[in-house]
Amino acid sequence: MMRRSRRKLSLLIVALALLITQGDASAQFMILTGGDITLTLGLPTVPGGDPAPVTNASRRLIWLFPPNGVSKIVVSTAIISQSFELYVTPTAIRNGTAMPTVQLTQGMSPVDFIRDIGRRPWFGRATLSYRAEAPAETGSTNNQGTDVHTVIYTWIAQ
């Protein structure tokens, strides 16, 4: 009996709140709810085709006590070796403007994620929608295994 293997993409998500502003910034902070996420990509539905993308939108990013002035949140990833494609999209934004979907890639610089965060209201939030994809050309499941991303959210002055 042949065992069907599955491609697996694990995400380790870390939230960092860094704020560059004038005055006392000690009261501002950011929370990432829900902990780690594991997205598992199944076998292609068509022989030789790509597996169907997998999405998870169960995490939320919350920021409290924005500074005076306008700020933004940027996103980046830290990963040793990347085999699969990973995307993150901010949705259901309160207090800010969502930027388009960001592809998280090895060695990337931080990219604008949520802009125009104002002082009022005193908090903001966004639902984080992660999507994993694995093009057929990435190779077999036996030699690709698992990706582990540390996704970093940084809050800075705009």
Q: Give the pairing of strands 7-15 and 146-157.
A: parallel
Read off the pLDDT of residues 101-150 as tens digits, 9 standing for 90 and up.
999 999 999 999 999 999 888 889 999 999 988 776 664 444 567 788 88
* Full set of structural domains in the chain with CATH: 25-41+51-136+145-157 (2.60.40)
Tokens of 122: 């005193």
Q: What is the pLDDT of residue 130?
A: 93
One-letter identity of residue 20: I
